[in-house]
Every structure is written in structure tokens, then in C-alpha cells.
Amino acid sequence: MLLIQSGTVFIGDKFVKKDILIDNGIIVDIGTNLKGTEKIDASGMLVLPGLIDPHVHLREPGATHKEDFTTGSRAAIAGGFTTVMDMPNNTTPTTTKERLEEKMKLAKQKAVCDVLFHFGGTDDNFDEVKKANPPSLKLYLGETTGMLVLKNQNSLEKHFVNFPAERPIVLHASDHSPDEEINLGKTYATVENAISLANKHKRKIHIAHASTKKEIDLAIRSKNCTVEVAPHYLFLSTNDLERLGPMGKVYPPLRSEQKRIHLWKSLENVDCIATDHAPHTIEDKESGSAGFPGLETSLALMLKGCDLGFIDKLWLIPKMSEQVASIFNIEKKGQIKKGFIGDITIVDPKKVWKVDTSELETKCKWSPFEGIEFKGKVHTVIKSGKIVYREYCFV
Ligand code: DOR
Ligand code: ZN
């Protein structure tokens, strides 16, 4: 019986001073003066539900020189995430049942956190989608890393009709034409079209990596549509491109400083936060790859947003846990609640730190946030009742 004692615990929608008791991987009691056999002193710490990231690229199989299930899941744990949802744009995309099962097997052998999988939809894999019966489907409506993109306009509606309505279809709506007016115009048109189709078929859709206020404004008009934002669009803009050079390339691209500020202002309308952890080696970045690693910096960035007064922790925590579970129908996770899985992230809110790239768990060993000072760091992580990370180290 694991006892987490005297922490400031996020329960429901507020912080309260409580003990938590976990037995057999399940939260069995929340109260005061509880007794356990193994103890963690959490006084002075924030005790959060294990965070859930709906959008990561762990690269295995196919590009394990960038990341694999071991390094990617260790980055997740070090960043406070006990569950991540892996994207299907592998070198050989996850578009058949067999490939999904191969990924599941590898993750089971290697990952130290839970990994769930988005299945990729193509112009001709409708039967495979049925066979695989995945919890969510990802459709690429614009090109990005990998070969996975929907080319035929009719395929979109066909997937919308065939895939169970209560399971979200995640959409990569962004276009990456170098001209911003063109790429944003295309992105907005794609989002609008997808939302009207979702409304027509009364089905759930989820817009991945919104980078502008306008996408959020479009999404909130439909009860069938949810939307995520990645922290890099809140903390980086085109002003950083000169400094970052090739390391600053990401899809969707970084936006203007004005758009970045507008994104903060409409953040209250987003449904969840996603890291879009998309690791590439420094060599791959220098030859043009798009994407940032994000698992180890996203919580710290969002806590910085709280310290800066842009958002409140009471708003933030569910957007990185309960809300993600709700959108993706993940049961018994995302909340500290009796009967729920014992996934807990303990944060030292006073710990001041900076990214040391040599100490990152991600295989890519770089970060666009190197040099920024953070306050608040993941101290201890409990996965299914087991301590996997303690005092900033894996156990
Ligand atoms: O920058 C990006 N990198 N955007 C994406 O949509 C994909 C990702 C990747 O897989 O590298
Ligand atoms: Zn992505």
C-alpha cells in the first residue's frame, strides 16, 4: 500500500491538502491521517493526476535514431506524463492492423509509461480501420513528416461516416506553404470544411496543434469539435526564427508575435494541451526536418504561463489530464479519484531549473527552450501504483 502523504492534491477542480492511498495499482482512499506500508512525503508539493499527452511522435518503428519507445516514454515520465498517444506517421505509417499490433507489442516491451495509438487513415484503408478498431483515427489533410496524407477529398467524408461517431477523428489541418497568407487560408478552409462535415454526420473530431486564435474560434462553434494547442505556439514566434535557425522549423510554422499573443488570449477556449513531441536529431534538423521535442518542457512552460498570470493552475491541470481522457474516452485516468488508476505526478513548485540538453531523456538531445529559466519541476512519478521516478531520477 503506497501512501502519498500531506501533498497539495488536485481533486475535482481544486487543490486540497490530503493523503492518497494506492493499492494494487488503484487509488483506494483519499483522506487525512491515512496509513500505508510505503510512504512518500509530499508536503510542499503539488500532487497531480498523471498527465496525459494526446499527441506525440515516438518514431518506433522506422526512425529509432530520433526516438524509440524507451527514450520517448522516459521523456514522458520525466515531463510528468504517465500516458501518451502516439501518432501514426512513422516511416511506414500505422495504417494496417498488423502495423498497429507491431507497435503495441514494441511499446509493451519497452515503454515505461502507457502508450495509446492513433491509427492512420488513408484513401484506401477503410477495411483496415474496421479490422483494427482503434480508439481514434488520425487524418492528415496536409503534408507533413512522413508519407501519410489523404489525397482524395471523398475519403474524408467516407472516414467520417465509417468510423464510430463517439471516437474522435484527429485532424492535421495545417498546410505548410511558405507564404503565411496561403497556409493559413488553406488551414482555415480545411478546418471549416471538416467541422461542417462533422456536424452533418454528428461525429466527434479533434483539431491537432491549433496555432492561431481563428482555429480555436472555428472549433468552439461546434459541439462536435475539440481543439488542442501546443506550448511552443504560446512561447515562440517568428521573432525567434533567426536565433533558432533550422531548429525553429515546425509544422504548423511559428506565427507572428501578435498571433502568439492572441493565442494566449483565446486559450481559455481550448479543450486540451498537447506537446506534439516531434523529435529529430540535430543533424536531421540541419537538413530540414520539422518538429520540436516537447515532453520534458511542456508542463514547465505551462506553469510559467500560470506564474506570468496568463492562466490559472486550476484551469491548466484538467487540460493536461481529465479533459484529454474525456475527449479520447480513456477510462479511469486523468483524475485523482477513488477507483481510478494510481497514476500520479508530483511537482516541486519551487524548484528552479534550466534545460540541460545532455540530461534530457529524449534521444534527440536538444530543445528550442534551452536557456529559459523554469520554476516548478516534476519530482516524483507514480505509474499504476509503482514509483518509477523519484527525486528527479528514474528508480
Ligand atoms: O513539425 C511537425 N513535425 N509537424 C508535424 O505535423 C509532424 C511532426 C513530425 O512527425 O516530425
Ligand atoms: Zn504531430
Q: What is the DSSP letter of 144?
A: -
* The model's pTM: 0.97
What's 361's domain CATH number?
2.30.40.10
Max Cα–Cα distance, the chain, nearest Å: 61
Residue 334 in any domain: the answer is: no
Kindly report, residue by residue over 166-195, the tens digit of the pLDDT. 999 999 998 888 888 898 999 999 999 999
CA distances from 163 to 5, 129, 196 (A): 44, 8, 16
**217 and 82, same domain (yes or no):** yes
What's 179's domain CATH number?
3.20.20.140
Residue 275 in any domain: the answer is: yes
Distance CA 72, CA 201 (A): 36
SS3 220: helix
What pLDDT is recorded for position 384? Answer: 98
Residue 134 in any domain: the answer is: yes
Structural domain that includes position 237: 50-327
CA distances from 162 to 154, 166, 201, 352 (A): 12, 12, 10, 49
Which of 305, 327, 349 is the last residue before a domain boundary? 327
**22 and 81, same domain (yes or no):** no
**35 and 144, same domain (yes or no):** no
Residue 332 in any domain: the answer is: no
Mutation test residue for ligand 1: of 251, 280, 289, 363, the one with most atoms within 8 Å of CB: 251
**134 and 70, same domain (yes or no):** yes
Distance CA 3, CA 156 (A): 49
Q: Which ligand is nearest to the CA of 140?
A: 1
**135 and 261, same domain (yes or no):** yes
- Across-strand partners of 256? none
What pLDDT is recorded for position 142? Answer: 79
- Across-strand partners of 114? 83
Exposed / middle / buried, residue 321 (Cβ in 10 Å: 0-12, 13-18, 19+): buried
The total of structural domains in the chain comes to 2
**236 and 156, same domain (yes or no):** yes
Q: Does any ligand 1 atom lie closer than 6 A to the CB of residue 145?
A: yes
Which of 302, 327, 352 is the last residue before a domain boundary? 327
**39 and 54, same domain (yes or no):** no
SS3 392: coil
Which residue in the list 19, 271, 276, 284 is annotated as catalytic? 276
Distance CA 130, CA 254 (A): 36
**123 and 272, same domain (yes or no):** yes
What pLDDT is recorded for position 153? Answer: 83
Quote the cell numbers at residue 158: 467516407
Where would I find the H helices in 207-297? Answer: 213-220, 232-235, 241-244, 257-266, 282-286
Q: Does any ligand 1 atom lie closer than 6 A to the CB of residue 366?
A: no
Q: Does any ligand 1 atom lie closer than 6 A to the CB of residue 247?
A: no
**288 and 382, same domain (yes or no):** no
What pLDDT is recorded for position 152? Answer: 86
Kindly report, residue by residue over 32-79, the tens digit of the pLDDT. 999 999 999 999 999 999 999 999 999 999 999 999 999 999 999 999
Q: Does any ligand 1 atom lie closer than 6 A to the CB of residue 291?
A: yes
**267 and 188, same domain (yes or no):** yes
Distance CA 191, CA 164 (A): 20
Residue nearest (by alpha carbon) to ligand 1 atom 7: 145
What pLDDT is recorded for position 327? Answer: 98
Residue 89 in any domain: the answer is: yes
**63 and 37, same domain (yes or no):** no
4 CA → ligand 2 middle, Å = 35
Distance CA 321, CA 50 (A): 7
What pLDDT is recorded for position 379? Answer: 98
Residue nearest (by alpha carbon) to ligand 1 atom 3: 291
Which of 327, 352, 372 is the last residue before a domain boundary? 327
Instruction: Give the residues of the chain that fall short of pLDDT 70.
Output: 146
Q: Does any ligand 1 atom lie closer than 6 A to the CB of residue 172?
A: yes
179 is annotated as an active-site residue? no
Q: Provide the sign of the torsion angle of the four alpha carbons 246, 248, 252, 257, taken in this order.
A: negative
Distance CA 336, CA 341 (A): 8
**381 and 370, same domain (yes or no):** yes
Q: What is the DSSP letter of 98?
A: H
